């Protein structure tokens, strides 16, 4: 029977050779007449669809428990704790691609080359990957992840967001801690924040802002954002100044401005908002004001 499966299922994907790594949210079938394999998202296949697919095609499944399969069941399906691991702590790096159909296999290979050999690459959706990184061997920091993002975007012409998870002991609480981070990541993307790299440190002001009473947010708008409307670069300058540890030289280099120009902006910001730039006391307030400005701008679009 020759069916136009591509027209029936939008997630249909054809394979000339038998796929070796199977995703858990897809069905895989073998078409014996043409010696080809194909996959379809389980979300798109009704019970009736599944019944006739299994009549005309041979379903295939993984017979070997791959590390990615074990971790998927552990994180999402209340599976057993992965055993015989050479490490006791790990963190989950979440990658989300804004493109509908990123080149999955190429991206997985690129990500694998960036991490240590113990890292497990797990594709949980068409545009979502997880990388479980052993903390015993991890050497990657924020700057490394930003470099990875830029490399992938340049090589594959895709847009990407990355969340650097915290290191946790691999125990029964690990899945719930990961799910908490996944929820935070989704919330931040929902508010259309322009950042590409996320960690708890970077999302904390965003999450905090969502919990604040309207009266406090109104105060920040009136006392900081409105007075700075005529000179919007001041807030960005001070935010960068805090990010670089109140270091004049590093901040000037980052912003490509002279030290005197930076000192002028800092003094003007302090005069306008009454927030001191000589210590970190105002850092959280500046970050919240920066996010609130972005949120207000997005609401006006």
**Closest C-alpha to 23, from 126, 109, 96:** 126
Please give the average per-residue pLDDT across 239-262, as a whole number: 92
Would you give the end-to-end CA distance of the chain in angstroms? 51
Are 221 and 253 within one domain? yes
Predicted TM-score of the model (pTM): 0.66
Percent of the chain clearing pLDDT 70 (strictly above): 94
* 127 vs 169 pLDDT, higher one: 169
Of the residues 184, 205, 226, which one is the last residue of a structural domain?
205
Please give the average per-residue pLDDT across 219-240, as a whole number: 91
Are 255 and 284 within one domain? yes
Q: Which residues contact 32 (CB under 8 A, 6 or more apart)?
A: 57, 58
pLDDT value, residue 68:
84
Whether residue 216 is predicted with pLDDT greater than 70 in this model: the reply is yes
**Closest C-alpha to 123, from 13, 25, 9, 10:** 25
pLDDT value, residue 1:
54
Please give the average per-residue pLDDT across 187-215, as a whole number: 83
Where helices occur in 164-223 by DSSP H, the ranges are 174-190, 200-211, 214-220
Question: What is the spatial distance between Cα 229 and Cα 301, in angstroms, rounded to a whole number?
Answer: 17
pLDDT value, residue 62:
58
Are 146 and 243 within one domain? no
Of the residues 16, 44, 60, which one is the last residue of a structural domain?
60
CATH number at residue 76: 3.30.70.270
pLDDT value, residue 222:
92
Are 148 and 34 within one domain? no
Question: What is the spatial distance between Cα 52 and Cα 8, in angstroms, rounded to a whole number?
Answer: 13
Instruction: Note the pLDDT tens digit of each residue in 107-160.
Output: 777 777 788 777 888 888 888 899 999 887 667 788 888 888 888 888 888 888
Whether residue 100 is predicted with pLDDT greater than 80 in this model: the reply is no
pLDDT value, residue 185:
93
Number of domains in the chain: 3
Whether residue 190 is predicted with pLDDT greater than 70 in this model: the reply is yes
For the chain, give the mean pLDDT. 86
CATH number at residue 224: 1.10.10.2840
pLDDT value, residue 163:
95
| Contact assessment for residue 39 and residue 27, using Cβ atoms and an 8 Å cutoff | yes
Question: What is the spatial distance between Cα 174 and Cα 64, in angstroms, rounded to a whole number?
Answer: 24
* 103 vs 178 pLDDT, higher one: 178
Are 17 and 79 within one domain? no
The domain in which residue 248 lies consists of 212-300
Question: What is the spatial distance between Cα 131 and Cα 33, in angstroms, rounded to a whole number?
Answer: 37
- Which of these ranges, 82-86, 157-161, 181-185, 191-195, has the smallest mean pLDDT? 191-195
Are 170 and 282 within one domain? no
Are 221 and 296 within one domain? yes
Are 195 and 274 within one domain? no
pLDDT value, residue 89:
92
Of the residues 205, 235, 253, which one is the last residue of a structural domain?
205
pLDDT value, residue 224:
92
Q: Which two tokens stand for residue 267?
A: 């003094």
Q: Which two tokens stand for residue 220?
A: 């920040």
Please give the average per-residue pLDDT across 75-98, as a whole number: 88
* 2 vs 51 pLDDT, higher one: 51
């Amino acid at each position: 029977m020759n069916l136009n499966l591509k027209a029936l299922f939008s997630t249909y994907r054809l394979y000339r050779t038998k796929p070796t790594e199977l995703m858990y949210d897809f069905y895989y079938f073998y078409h014996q007449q043409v010696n080809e394999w194909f996959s379809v998202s389980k979300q798109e296949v009704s019970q009736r669809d599944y019944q006739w697919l299994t009549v005309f095609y041979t379903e295939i499944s993984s017979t070997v428990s791959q590390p990615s399969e074990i971790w998927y069941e552990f994180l999402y399906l209340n599976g057993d704790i992965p055993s015989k691991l050479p490490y006791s702590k790990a963190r989950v790096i979440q990658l989300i691609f804004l493109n509908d159909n990123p080149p999955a296999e190429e991206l997985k290979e690129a990500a694998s080359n960036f991490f240590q050999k113990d890292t497990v690459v797990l594709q949980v959706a068409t545009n979502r990957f997880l990388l479980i990184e052993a903390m015993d061997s991890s050497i990657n920091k924020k700057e490394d992840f930003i470099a990875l993002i830029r490399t992938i975007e340049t090589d594959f012409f895709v847009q990407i967001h990355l969340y650097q998870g915290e290191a946790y002991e691999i125990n029964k609480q690990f899945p719930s801690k990961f799910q908490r981070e996944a929820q935070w990541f989704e919330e931040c993307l929902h508010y259309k924040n322009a950042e590409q790299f996320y960690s708890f440190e970077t999302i904390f002001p965003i999450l905090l802002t969502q919990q604040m009473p309207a009266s406090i947010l109104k105060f920040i708008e009136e006392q900081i954002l409105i007075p700075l409307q005529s000179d919007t670069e001041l807030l960005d300058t001070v935010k960068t100044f805090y990010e670089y540890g109140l270091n004049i030289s590093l901040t000037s280099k980052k912003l490509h401005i002279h030290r005197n120009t930076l000192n002028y902006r800092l003094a003007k910001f302090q005069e306008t908002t009454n927030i001191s730039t000589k210590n970190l006391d105002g850092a959280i307030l500046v970050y919240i004001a920066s996010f609130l400005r972005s949120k207000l701008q997005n609401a006006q679009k």
